[in-house]
């Protein structure tokens, strides 16, 4: 019998990801089950949308605990500004102390996590947080 957690049987969860996102890493495997303590690591998924200046991170805490929960955080990094208040596009995107957490959510359900993640990926791909 093959274990469902064996590396050969792992399949990434299909996700609907709009254009513009850069995926840093994705270890959301569709057949791993949280109730068996299968999730661990400080971050399971992260993505950055540089043009919209959003960062999404998914973690599972406590690690490898069957009673743990998925945590989703959405951060926004404001545009750096000139002394006159205009956007500076010449500065590389870095998430720093000025970043704002615009959403935090948690769930024990993997299916609910996928729905929440896809909704925030879609929302942030078209969301303009601040004007010129």
The reported pTM is 0.86
Report the C-alpha gap between 82 and 74 in whole angstroms.
26
Q: What is the mean pLDDT of residues 19-40?
A: 83
> What are the start-end ranges of the H helices in the chain?
110-126
Number of residues that this document lists for the chain? 132
Residue 32 has a pLDDT of 73
User: Higher pLDDT residue, 98 or 41?
Assistant: 98
Report the C-alpha gap between 130 and 79 in whole angstroms.
8
95 has pLDDT over 70: yes
Q: 11: which residues sit within 8 A by CB, 6+ positions away?
A: 29, 30, 31
Residue 2 has a pLDDT of 46
Residue 57 has a pLDDT of 97
Cα 123 to chain centroid, rounded: 13
């Amino acid at each position: 019998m093959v274990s469902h957690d064996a590396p050969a049987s792992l399949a990434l969860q299909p996700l609907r990801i709009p254009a513009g996102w850069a995926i840093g890493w994705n270890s959301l495997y569709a057949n791993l089950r949280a109730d068996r303590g299968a999730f661990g690591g400080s971050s399971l998924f992260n993505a950055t949308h540089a043009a919209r200046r959003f960062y999404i991170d998914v973690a599972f805490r406590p690690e490898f605990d069957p009673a743990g929960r998925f945590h989703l955080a959405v951060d926004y990094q404001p545009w750096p500004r000139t002394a006159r208040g205009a956007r500076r596009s010449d500065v590389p995107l870095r998430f720093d102390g000025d970043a704002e957490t615009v959403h935090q959510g948690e769930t024990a359900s993997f299916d609910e996590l996928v729905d929440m993640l896809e909704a925030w990926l879609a929302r942030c791909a078209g969301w303009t947080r601040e004007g010129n």
